[in-house]
């Protein structure tokens, strides 16, 4: 949650500008895996992260802040629901129409998966209950 608040603050900062930089995606994913691995909590045992990537780095153009946030969110989610391991596969797909690199990232955990009830609601907005009690006496 703290990371989310920092991210919102950073992106909401008037000085923040979306950028498109050349990024070593392989190094970025490895870095985010290390950060998530170090975040082991007492209620969740360590999870084995297995990372498969090409020999040569995958360089692509993107916003490093947004890419890091996306990767960390996906990896934290996989870690949260994994029974014991998370597999991450990174592959270069092809060059896009303007000559830039495209990549595919597949993240799999060995958890039980999403329930059929939750699968129906996946991706749909759900109302949130807001509880607000004020004692003005």
pLDDT tier at 5, thresholds 50, 70, 90: very low
Q: pLDDT category, 14, cuts 50, 70, 90?
A: low
pLDDT at site 120 = 82
Rounded to two decimals, the pTM is 0.71
* Residue 86 predicted with pLDDT over 90: yes
What residue ranges define each of the domains in the chain, with the CATH number in brackets? 19-116 (3.30.565.10)
pLDDT top residue among 10 and 76: 76
Give dist(CA 58, CA 91) in Å, integer.
Answer: 8
Q: Which residue has the tokens 């759900």?
A: 126
Largest CA distance in the chain: 68
| pLDDT of 92 higher than 90 | no
Q: Quick one: pLDDT at residue 130? A: 54
Residue 10 pLDDT: 56
């Amino acid at each position: 949650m703290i990371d989310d608040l920092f991210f919102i603050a950073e992106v909401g900062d008037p000085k923040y500008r979306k950028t498109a930089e050349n990024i070593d995606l392989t190094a970025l994913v490895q870095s985010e895996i290390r950060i998530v691995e170090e975040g082991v909590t007492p209620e969740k045992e360590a999870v084995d992260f297995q990372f498969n990537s090409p020999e040569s780095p995958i360089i692509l153009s993107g916003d490093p802040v947004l890419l890091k946030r996306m990767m960390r969110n996906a990896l934290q989610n996989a870690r949260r629901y994994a029974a014991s391991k998370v597999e991450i596969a990174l592959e270069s797909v092809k060059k896009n129409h303007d000559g830039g690199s495209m990549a595919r990232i597949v993240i799999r955990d060995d958890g039980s998966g999403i329930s059929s009830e939750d699968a129906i609601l996946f991706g749909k907005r759900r109302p949130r209950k807001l509880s607000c009690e004020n004692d003005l006496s």
